[in-house]
Structure 1
Amino acid sequence: MTTIILNTNYEYMDKASIDKDLFCDYCNNPLIDPISTPCNHTFCRDCIESKLKQSCGTCAKAKCKNKSITMNDLIPVTERIVLNMLDRLLVKCTVCGTMNIQRGSFEKHAENFCSKLTVNCPAADLKCPWSGPNDQLQQHISICAIEQMRLMVADIIKNNHQLKEQVQKMSEQCYKDNSSYTKELQETNQCLNARVEQLNEALYHEKIRLKDLQTEFQQLKASILQDRTQINQLQTELQYEKEDLTRIDERCNKQEIQINQLADKINTKGVLSTYENPQLEHCLLKSQPRTVIDLSKQQLFDRDIETVIKQALIEKECTRLDLGYNAITAKGASIIADSLKYNTTLEELDFHNNHISDLGVHSLAEVLSSNTSILRALGLGSNGITDNGAEHLAEMLKTNQTITWLALAGNQISDRGVKLLANTLAYQNTSLLVLSLHVNKSISDASVDTIIDMLQRNKSLKKLWIQDCNISDDGKRRLREAAKVKQGFLLYM
């Protein structure tokens, strides 16, 4: 068993709110192992025993005239309700910072959950000098030569003890019988000594074998370190390739916008016939004013956006516009972004499954950063958005106070993008209620600490979707534990 010290490793969460009847009359702290005196005063056991030793039988309560108390007069408090109230007092671990631990469960926390508590090696009884944080104990045990020899040493000690007992019994019998039997006992003792020597020799060989195993272990560690270095190099190269792809994608988007602009100029000059989309116009014509207009899966292109703005936003004054599953690019997003400057009715805008990319996000973020739009919900799922787009949105959220719902599922956002968004939510945004990041496969355990810090600091966020990412089971466990502390918060993983 590891050795730990409990009574100095916690502090009470709200000491001022604790019932004063639960305090020790001497140390003025919540009772520990409570004891009552004949004069109906209650103390911690250590407090009253220490006081009695110092004052020769005087009660530790100030102004109490009872001077005839002895150790035999002390009565342990056994009322279950009092002991349960003391056990349920909430404390904070001063070693690892964990809060809201019931005092009666603190020993279990210290032994099983506190990763920073200083403990000794289980082989301390065999003179192992190691001590350190609880979360390093298992690593030390795996390489502790003394602990690994415990069973062997115990067996030798046991055998030696048994041999000594046999020698003692045989010596006594020899003393009672005759000298000839003494000679027989001496021969037996010699055999036993030979056996001890054999055991010592076996122990010596086992030590050599253990040393060889330790050498092999060090070689394996070196090999693992080399493999990790290669993995880091590959990850760095992959990141560079992702950045190159992002730059290429941005160039393609810019060129596409230029192509669309040239096409518009050509149309303006009358070279091509005026573009019309009867299906879109029919859909808009039958839509009711100031309602939801669903234009998803209508095969819309950037050239249809002007019609959408004119009839859906201006004439129909719709409150929610769904443009999902179309072929809208950064140009179309830029046109809609300009219209949001004068929007007085649209509250929800959904672009899911289009091609607006980081460039389109930049156009939207610039307009929304001015905080003049009434837009509350923005859907950007599956639009080829990378960390650059996440950076634009993070900057926008620093000033925008109307967006409460932001969907970024199914993009190429990685740990860097998560960190940018989480830092904004932790320190600068107080309006966002719902954030969707699921199915971003580049989000890994590297984001876990950042998300936990955001959950601890942000007061507004109520829902976070982050399922189907590259987060390990241990990372998910840590996120769930952090979410439990945040009242009224829902985490979907």
Structure 2
Amino acid sequence: MEQMKNENESLREKLNETEKFEIENEILYEKISKMEKVGIESESLREKISEMDKIEIENKYLKEKTNKLIDEKQLIHDQYDQYKINNNDVGMELSRLSSSLQHVSSLIEYIEKETQGLQENLNELNYYDVNNRSLLKSFQQQQQTEIDSLQEMNQSLKEKLLHYENELEEINQRSQQIQTDKQQIFTQCLLYETEINNLNASNQRLKENVFDCEAELQQSNQYCQQLQDQTINDKYKIEGLLINIKRLEAKLYLPASQPYQIPEKNKNIETNRLEEFIDKCQSYLMVNLNGEKINDDNIEVVIKAALIKKQCQSLILWNNHLTCYSISRLSSALCMNKSLTKLSISKNHLSDSAIKDLSESLSFNNCTLKQLVLSSNEITDQGLIYLSDMLKTNEHLIMLGLQDNKITDKAIQYLSQIIQFKNQVIEEISLYSNKSITDGSVDDIFNMIRHNQSLTTFWIWDCQLSEQGKDKLQQSIQDKNNFDLQV
């Protein structure tokens, strides 16, 4: 019995060792679970492989222990059979030992399965290690290829850099040459600038001389004009006296019952003379009938010969005897005419009704007239109002001459509103020698010049403007280039 107890104690010790083995096996299982969480990187794989080597060593050790346990188990079975034959009293103890042995057997099977799984993991890790080594080798080869390519590129870049350095040296040499040339050019520019300044000073002096000459010439022209006007007036007076003398002579020799009439023969002679005069005009551009005694009787001759037949572009009718009827006939002809661009009817003493007919005719855009001169006609404010209304719709007229008339500040205000807001075509306006224009028109003229974008010339000298008013008008053209303002 004592021997049996000793054997039982040895069996218990072996069972304790088996339990320790199970604990160690659990520790190994935990290590294996930790191994599964490790990445695929090469260094970590190598560490896992080293751990697996340790596990394999431990596994071998466990296998040896397992084999010893199997041997001991077999020995225990043999002893158990022997003890069962010899002693049936220890049956219960043996059955317990048998169940323990079965448990140990199941543990051994479990350990074998785990060992097989570890072996599979080890094989898989070996496969990964082989793949990583091949990938590392491929990466090293690719890296070496890239290094070779970079070295070739580096060599090429060095050659280009050397080439660029040579070009840069050439450019620097050229730059130095250009700098030298630039210095020479700068010196020449300074010389030229000095010459230009001298020329500008000389030019300024010449301009001042020209301005003085122009002023003197203008005064001379005005004086000549006055002499011409006086001569023409004297001529008219002489002609009037001669006509009166002829009429008186005719009355003396005609019967009292017959009123005096201008002979039809004389009319025909005058008409033929006028037609021949117009035909002899060398240029189709202009027909100048200044002082040719144009009146109601021969205005139709002018229309047919000059406007219709000759298709002139400029018609001068200064110093004639045009009336409202003459202007009415001329206005009707302008509506159908496409060639005339300039019409000058100065010094004809036109009435406001005549100006009205002319303005109504020019209000239609089929008229191509661009320049209209009505100077020295005693036109009043009402006449300027008619002309201003015409400018609302006329899109061709660019020049309007109204110098030496009887226009006042009242009509200037109306003209200013039209030019500012209703007309963007007019370029030249002449109002000089209108003695009734005063400083009351300065603001209106100022706004007219500032707000109209087409107006480039405005003449208003020889009026009743103060120096202060003239200075204000000069301020209106400060922002306008090449504006011709004469005050």
TM-score by length of 2: 0.45
Higher strand share: 1
TM-score by length of 1: 0.44
Q: Which has the larger radius of gyration?
A: 2
